[in-house]
């Protein structure tokens, strides 16, 4: 099957309701695009999560584009100006769930590869595209599992580009050379249920937790470094009681998250939280969830090539950054010598009326192709 128009192909992908962890045929469609270009597909599905690696192998430098076909739920459909799974173009802007995160980057890379192999038929690159349908969710059976397989088989890539939407205002104004780690806590502070009129007969866990919360939100975890901001702590959810205004609840549940820099460790963060809890003599239960270590790519060949390619096509001197959430780069760092995230702008990701400027899709594809050309010259 021949696909000649990147925007039409992007529309086809957005029409697929690949709400995490569903793929809804995205990876099959991508196989039909890459197969005529000489790519073979390796399927690595785990627990009904779809994972694929498409390869056009040579003995030269290996580069892998890493992406995800799943999207977050659309939210309330009635709040959208258009159907989130029926992409529409208005004033050069394409609307639809996954338009910017990150089906546009996938399409831009696919068409960059197509032009590259046609223009440089005797290229020396080992080209790969790795995709999962489990990035936006728990990310347990996606690239995490794929990385385990690749490690076991001793497969490593020289370079990896993660197609996350890293740009802020214009394509190319920011790329990510690392990400902070993520540690979450599910804390239950235990009290004693009772009537609000008889507080001496109860223990109010809301009151008990207040000093703990004050201490932990004002704690300085580290100072960060030249490449990473300081570790941040945020409470994301608090729940107590059953809605009655005359009952002291038995417990309060607090969900929180650390986005931590390489200047600290999971062990240190856990120890500090427990020390604050013990200091206030709080009875508690806590469950931890560690979704990824920090990763960092030192300024090397890949950052140089990407920065130079961006400047050539946009006149922008890109910013190298580590801010933002997590990505599958936190897993793939173990099988790639250099890894950089670069994609379209992120202003509307995960939001109602998610969109992408159609000219940005074309521009990103030109930059991706330039990167392939430059790497092929090595």
Q: What is the mean pLDDT of residues 232-257?
A: 96
Task: Answer positive or negative: Cα dihedral of 265, 266, 270, 273.
Answer: positive
Q: Which of 266, 319, 314, 322 shows the shortest CA–CA distance to 290?
A: 266
The yes-or-no answer on residue 135 being catalytic is yes
Task: Give the pLDDT confidence score for residue 324 in this predicted structure.
Answer: 84
Is residue 2 very low, low, confident or very high in pLDDT (cuts 50, 70, 90)? low
Task: Give the pLDDT confidence score for residue 1 in this predicted structure.
Answer: 60
| Domains in the chain: boundaries | 6-179+294-376, 181-292
Per-position b or e across 310-330, b if 16+ CB within 10 A of its CB: beeebebebbbbbebebbbbb
Question: What are the C-alpha distances in Å from 206 to residues 167, 195, 212?
Answer: 41, 14, 10
User: Is 292's pLDDT higher than 90?
Assistant: no
Residue 35, helix vs strand vs coil = helix
Q: Determine contact, residues 162/332, Cβ cutoff 8 Å.
A: yes
Task: Give the pLDDT confidence score for residue 173 in this predicted structure.
Answer: 98
Q: Which residue in 22, 23, 24, 135 is the catalytic one?
A: 135
CA 50 to chain centroid, in Å, comes to: 17
Please name the residues in contact with 255: beta carbons below 8 A apart, sequence gap of 6 or more: 184, 185, 186, 187, 235, 236, 237, 238
Residue carrying structure tokens 């590869």? 113
Question: ω before 102 within 30° of 0 (cis)?
Answer: yes
Residue 263 tokens read as: 């200047």
Q: Which residue has the higher pLDDT, 325 or 250?
A: 250
Model confidence pLDDT, tens digit, residues 94-117: 999 999 999 999 999 999 999 999
Residue 85 tokens read as: 């799974």
pLDDT > 70 in the chain, percent: 99
Residue 375 tokens read as: 């790497």
Residue 134, helix vs strand vs coil = coil
Tell me the sheet residues that pair with 185. 256, 288
- CA 144, 161, 54: angle at the middle one, nearest 5? 65
> What CATH number belongs to 181-292?
3.30.70.360
Burial class (CB in 10 A: 0-12, 13-18, 19+), 112: buried
Model confidence pLDDT, tens digit, residues 162-191: 999 999 999 999 999 999 999 999 999 999
User: Is 326's pLDDT higher than 90?
Assistant: no
Q: Which residue has the higher pLDDT, 71 or 3?
A: 71
Q: Determine contact, residues 73/80, Cβ cutoff 8 Å.
A: no
Per-position b or e across 42-55, b if 16+ CB within 10 A of its CB: eebebeebbbbbbb
Residue carrying structure tokens 């704690």? 219
Model confidence pLDDT, tens digit, residues 4-57: 899 999 999 999 999 999 999 999 999 999 999 999 999 999 999 999 999 998
Q: Which of 338, 347, 332 shows the shortest CA–CA distance to 130?
A: 332
Q: Determine contact, residues 67/340, Cβ cutoff 8 Å.
A: no
Question: What are the C-alpha distances in Å from 161 to residues 64, 115, 213, 299?
Answer: 6, 18, 39, 14
The yes-or-no answer on residue 251 being catalytic is no
Q: Does domain 6-179+294-376 have CATH number 3.90.550.60?
A: no
Model confidence pLDDT, tens digit, residues 186-236: 999 999 999 999 999 999 999 999 999 999 999 999 999 999 999 999 999
Question: What are the C-alpha distances in Å from 287 to residues 70, 186, 253, 257, 311?
Answer: 27, 5, 11, 12, 46
Residue 215, helix vs strand vs coil = helix
CA 320 to chain centroid, in Å, comes to: 17
């Amino acid at each position: 099957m021949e696909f000649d128009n990147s925007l039409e192909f992007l529309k086809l992908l957005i029409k697929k309701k690949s709400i995490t962890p569903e793929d809804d045929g995205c990876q099959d469609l991508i196989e039909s695009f890459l197969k005529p270009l000489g790519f073979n597909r390796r399927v690595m599905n785990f627990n009904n999560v779809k994972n694929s690696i498409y390869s056009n192998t040579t003995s030269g430098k290996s580069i892998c584009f890493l992406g995800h076909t799943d999207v977050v739920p659309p939210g309330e459909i009635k709040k959208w100006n258009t159907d989130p799974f029926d992409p529409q173009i208005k004033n050069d802007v394409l609307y639809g769930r996954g338009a910017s995160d990150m089906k546009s980057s996938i399409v831009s890379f696919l068409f960059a590869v197509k032009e590259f192999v046609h223009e440089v038929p005797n290229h020396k690159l080992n080209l790969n595209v790795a995709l999962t349908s489990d990035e936006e969710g728990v990310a347990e059976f996606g690239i995490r599992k794929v990385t385990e397989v690749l490690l076991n088989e001793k497969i490593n890539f020289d370079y990896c580009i993660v197609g996350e939407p890293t740009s802020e205002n214009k394509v190319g104004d920011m790329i990510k050379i690392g990400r902070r780690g993520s540690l979450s806590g599910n804390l239950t502070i235990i009290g004693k249920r009772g009537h609000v009129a008889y507080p001496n007969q109860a223990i109010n866990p809301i009151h008990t937790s207040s000093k703990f919360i004050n201490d932990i939100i004002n704690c300085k975890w580290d100072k960060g470094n030249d490449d990473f901001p300081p570790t941040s702590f945020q409470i994301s959810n608090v729940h107590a009681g059953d809605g009655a205004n005359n009952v002291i609840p038995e417990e309060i549940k607090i969900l929180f998250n650390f986005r931590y820099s390489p200047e600290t460790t999971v062990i240190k963060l856990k120890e500090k939280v427990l020390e604050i809890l013990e200091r206030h003599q709080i009875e508690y239960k806590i469950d931890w969830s560690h979704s990824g270590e920090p990763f960092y790519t030192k300024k090397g060949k890949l950052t140089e090539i990407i920065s130079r390619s961006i400047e050539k096509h946009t006149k922008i001197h890109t910013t190298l950054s580590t801010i933002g959430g997590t990505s599958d780069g936190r897993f793939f760092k173990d099988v790639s010598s250099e890894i950089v995230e670069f994609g379209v702008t992120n202003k509307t990701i995960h939001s109602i009326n998610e969109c992408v400027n159609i000219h940005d899709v074309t521009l990103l594809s030109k930059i991706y192709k330039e990167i392939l050309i430059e790497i092929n010259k090595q």
